[in-house]
Chain A
């Protein structure tokens, strides 16, 4: 069983609240949900929609055919009607005009009835969130206005939770003992700033302080200052802000002050398509910053991996006084995923390096000797360059303790799909019943030697990415000498739907 329901309207009408209420009720009924958010760059008006996908099994994508539309305006119906399947329904807000500000709650109530879930579950959720007479009444009236269509019975899946990638990055940072987060607002990275800012001064969480600086150059340099002082420090941005931060990444490489960067990507170049999704900043993450210095680039594919890999990024940075970049995108950052596995236990990390206040310690942007004094000496220059190389080898060895890749699907299949980041969950949905193995690359730098081993075992290899040049393919070719000829690339800013991706995979014959 899988349902896809589109909820659309103008920005500001509360469509996210409908998705949220219905999702929260559904997970308590033992259903997995996935919610995709599609919105243009404006605050009021326009056309926003969510696609809520509901399944008895784990689900991490939407399908192109719709089982129903909840329309908060007429534009929603006009734009999406042609995607409805046969047993469709449309709930038109025209029939709900009396509800005013509570329109979205009435529509949530209506959808709950259509799905066939008991009234008491609806009322419990509304009461928990609002506990206002008008809210309860709106939800109830919406509920009674509809008929049960899908008859979703309670299922035996316990402890399902919903999370966005942003919330999960936040959780991973908190688990790692983050003290300072610095950022300048930029979609789609801003949610992490908001989430962490809301956690300040709560439960005395590591004296957490979230600071919005005047621009991204200030962010990255201030972050290095804070980290130098002994604070576990992370910064966050999207591609354009990351461009500005590159000078600081390079300073990190020379000064060896630990730094964690969260990069949530969106389609460029330039301002691009700012509220949509893309995997086009892998090259940037791998190479941004002048000079040659070690770094880790890790790309989680779902919220659980966001929690775990963020923790690893913190751990590696602190252990090696190095740069860790967590690479995500709008789709992972802002879509809602559900799961019922707990993240692995967080690695503990301790600041044991030299910090000012305890002793005299110097860090430098110049090539420098062991005490931090500037040098232009040829021998020391060579020695330091080699030390940075050696450090990368040590980092690589440490990374091997973690899951640098994951193998999904049919483990013995000769048909191999390779991908990374937010395409993970849609690939899992697309290949469910196919004879395919899926190699998910989590660490893009260092790249695991296992990638080549897996490729050697395969007869057919397909690269799937959400960019126009196949950037992971290039990395793999550079490291292994193997060019992947079959590629499925999407670069319209919208994530794959699982049925369309399945068709594209099946269309590739050899």
Chain B
């Protein structure tokens, strides 16, 4: 039985022309198509998006989901898994979304280790609100809210993810559609919480951080914590120096939320709740 799988809705695309969000959408569609061809059901996918440019993906993907609130991708996605552990949940979020408004949830995601995927579209800028700095913006960035420049150093989400005990951490380059799709597939298939940080240029705001492709290099899947920490240190998000490793930076087998809760184990592969 082969029916035509329609993964793109008919909604008008309102991202800026040339925005790498288009590439992230393409990578996602490829992963979904591949997983569905391997036996995943389209109805079992559910997404959550935050608020920001990234979140427009909600309107373009033909899967279930909640277009949530700014900063709340993770708790909303966690709730979906608590309600029905059989869903394959994808969270799309921005850097401001995740590391500013939603930071508490980000840190706790490693503890819960729910079997779901967080994809952060990191353009180091609050772009939909016209270019203020986020927690990953480089020091010195002048913007309308901070005409004296951003005073503070950026935080390194990869290091934070490692410190928070996340069981799958990866980084991608939005422009590399094929590689991003490959990593996203690994993230979805990983049993436990997967965090994928996607470096994505914004073509309108904070232009000085763009075009880092020369610093990027691909790594093979890494499972050593020490090596992961070394890889995380290679780029500090603050300037265009050093090296930016792409690929699976860390992965470990860890008990998932669904395995910890007997109530959720009992529902696995069963229809939910009378």
A232 to B11, CA, bound (A): 32
Q: Is B65 an interface residue (CB 8 A)?
A: yes
Which residues of chain B are within 8 angstroms of A374 by Cβ–Cβ distance? 11, 56, 58-59, 67
In contact, A362 and B65 (Cβ under 8 angstroms): yes
In contact, A225 and B67 (Cβ under 8 angstroms): no
List which B101-120 residues lie within 8 A (CB) of chain A.
104-105, 108
Which residues of chain B are within 8 angstroms of A230 by Cβ–Cβ distance? 83-84, 272-273
Q: Is A121 an interface residue (CB 8 A)?
A: no
Contact string, A364-405, partner B, CB cutoff 8 A, digits 1/0? 111010001110000000000000000000000000000000
Q: Is B87 an interface residue (CB 8 A)?
A: yes
In contact, B43 and A357 (Cβ under 8 angstroms): yes
The residue that A215 contacts in the complex, of B43, B80, B84, B104, with Cβ under 8 A, is B104
Closest to A227 in B: B83
Interface stretch, picked from A136-144, A201-209, A324-332, is A201-209
In contact, B11 and A373 (Cβ under 8 angstroms): yes
Closest to B271 in A: A357
Knowing A357-B86, A360-B62, A362-B58 are in contact, say whether A221-B69 is a contact too (CB < 8 A).
Answer: yes
Knowing A201-B262, A231-B273, A362-B65 are in contact, say whether A222-B79 is a contact too (CB < 8 A).
Answer: yes
Which residues of chain A are within 8 angstroms of B169 by Cβ–Cβ distance? none
Q: Is A439 an interface residue (CB 8 A)?
A: no
The residue that A225 contacts in the complex, of B44, B62, B78, B273, with Cβ under 8 A, is B78
Q: Is A96 an interface residue (CB 8 A)?
A: no
In contact, A356 and B84 (Cβ under 8 angstroms): yes
Interface stretch, picked from A23-31, A33-41, A247-255, is A247-255
Q: Is A416 an interface residue (CB 8 A)?
A: no
Closest to A200 in B: B263
| Chain B nearest Cβ from A185, distance in angstroms | 15
The residue that A229 contacts in the complex, of B67, B80, B108, B262, with Cβ under 8 A, is B80
The residue that B79 contacts in the complex, of A206, A221, A361, with Cβ under 8 A, is A221
In contact, A225 and B48 (Cβ under 8 angstroms): yes
A278 to B66, CA, bound (A): 36
| Chain B nearest Cβ from A412, distance in angstroms | 47
A214 to B112, CA, bound (A): 10
Q: Is A359 an interface residue (CB 8 A)?
A: yes
In contact, A223 and B79 (Cβ under 8 angstroms): yes
| Chain B nearest Cβ from A354, distance in angstroms | 9
A358 to B86, CA, bound (A): 11
Which residues of chain A are within 8 angstroms of B262 by Cβ–Cβ distance? 201
A363 to B76, CA, bound (A): 12
Which residues of chain B are within 8 angstroms of A218 by Cβ–Cβ distance? 72, 74-75, 78, 104-105, 108
Q: Is B51 an interface residue (CB 8 A)?
A: yes
Q: Is A445 an interface residue (CB 8 A)?
A: no
A360 to B43, CA, bound (A): 6
In contact, A222 and B84 (Cβ under 8 angstroms): no
Contact string, B67-97, partner A, CB cutoff 8 A, digits 1/0? 1110110111111111110110000000000
Q: Is B64 an interface residue (CB 8 A)?
A: yes
List which A175-208 residues lie within 8 A (CB) of chain B.
177, 179-180, 182, 200-201, 206-208
| Chain B nearest Cβ from A66, distance in angstroms | 47
The residue that A209 contacts in the complex, of B68, B77, B86, B264, with Cβ under 8 A, is B264
List which A344-363 residues lie within 8 A (CB) of chain B.
351, 355-363
The residue that B44 contacts in the complex, of A182, A221, A357, A368, with Cβ under 8 A, is A357
Closest to B257 in A: A211
| Chain B nearest Cβ from A364, distance in angstroms | 4
Knowing A207-B263, A224-B76, A247-B69 are in contact, say whether A360-B63 is a contact too (CB < 8 A).
Answer: yes
Q: Is B100 an interface residue (CB 8 A)?
A: no
A257 to B87, CA, bound (A): 17
Which residues of chain B are within 8 angstroms of A209 by Cβ–Cβ distance? 82, 261, 263-264
In contact, A362 and B64 (Cβ under 8 angstroms): yes
In contact, B87 and A229 (Cβ under 8 angstroms): yes
Interface size of B by Cβ–Cβ distance < 8 Å?
48
Knowing A214-B104, A361-B64 are in contact, say whether A226-B83 is a contact too (CB < 8 A).
Answer: yes
A207 to B68, CA, bound (A): 26
Knowing A217-B75, A374-B58 are in contact, say whether A228-B66 is a contact too (CB < 8 A).
Answer: yes
Which residues of chain B are within 8 angstroms of A215 by Cβ–Cβ distance? 104
Q: Is A213 an interface residue (CB 8 A)?
A: yes
In contact, B66 and A363 (Cβ under 8 angstroms): yes
List which B25-43 residues lie within 8 A (CB) of chain A.
42-43
Which residues of chain A are within 8 angstroms of B74 by Cβ–Cβ distance? 218
Which residues of chain B are within 8 angstroms of A366 by Cβ–Cβ distance? 67
A222 to B46, CA, bound (A): 14
In contact, B83 and A229 (Cβ under 8 angstroms): yes
In contact, B83 and A233 (Cβ under 8 angstroms): yes
Interface centre among B46, B77, B81 (most CB of A within 10 A): B46
Q: Is B4 an interface residue (CB 8 A)?
A: no
Closest to A372 in B: B67
Which residues of chain B are within 8 angstroms of A228 by Cβ–Cβ distance? 46, 66, 79-80, 83
A14 to B119, CA, bound (A): 52
Knowing A222-B76, A224-B76 are in contact, say whether A207-B67 is a contact too (CB < 8 A).
Answer: no
Q: Is B274 an interface residue (CB 8 A)?
A: yes
A207 to B272, CA, bound (A): 9
The residue that B43 contacts in the complex, of A224, A247, A356, with Cβ under 8 A, is A356
In contact, A221 and B72 (Cβ under 8 angstroms): yes
A9 to B46, CA, bound (A): 54
Q: Is B203 an interface residue (CB 8 A)?
A: no
Q: Is B204 an interface residue (CB 8 A)?
A: no
List which A224-266 residues lie within 8 A (CB) of chain B.
224-233, 247-248, 251, 255, 257
Closest to B62 in A: A360
List which B128-160 residues lie within 8 A (CB) of chain A.
none
In contact, A373 and B9 (Cβ under 8 angstroms): yes
Interface centre among B46, B76, B108 (most CB of A within 10 A): B76
Closest to A204 in B: B266
The residue that A251 contacts in the complex, of B56, B68, B78, B81, with Cβ under 8 A, is B68
The residue that B274 contacts in the complex, of A206, A223, A247, A356, with Cβ under 8 A, is A206
Closest to B261 in A: A209
In contact, B272 and A206 (Cβ under 8 angstroms): no
Which residues of chain B are within 8 angstroms of A229 by Cβ–Cβ distance? 46, 79-84, 87, 272
Q: Is B267 an interface residue (CB 8 A)?
A: yes
A442 to B66, CA, bound (A): 33
Closest to B60 in A: A373
In contact, A356 and B273 (Cβ under 8 angstroms): no
A373 to B58, CA, bound (A): 8
4 tightest CB-CB pairs across the interface, nearest first? A225-B79, A229-B83, A222-B79, A226-B83
Interchain Cβ contacts under 8 Å between A and B, 5 examples: A206-B274, A214-B104, A218-B72, A222-B82, A360-B63
Known contacts A226-B82, A363-B65; 4 further A-B pairs (Cβ under 8 A): A218-B104, A225-B79, A357-B43, A374-B11
